[in-house]
Amino acid sequence: MTQKQIADEVGCTQPCIAGLATGRRGKQVSYDIGSKLVALSERMKHAKSD
């Protein structure tokens, strides 16, 4: 999954995802974005195990 696809899925921009991935953005994100990232991660884990 690309950073653009992740960003589209959670409702933010690709540069936001890139910043999180590299640590340049810091560790704080909005609750909404954070919870969507967690949910996406869980869906991806379950999809891999199926």
Report domain extents, the chain.
Answer: 3-49
pLDDT tens figures, 1-50: 999 999 999 999 999 999 999 988 777 889 999 999 999 999 999 998 76
Helices (H) and strands (E) in the chain, counts: 3, 0
pLDDT at 42: 97
pLDDT at 10: 98
Q: What whole-number distance in Å separates Cα of residue 40 and Cα of residue 5?
A: 11
**Full-model pTM:** 0.82
Q: Which helix (H) or strand (E) holds 25?
A: none
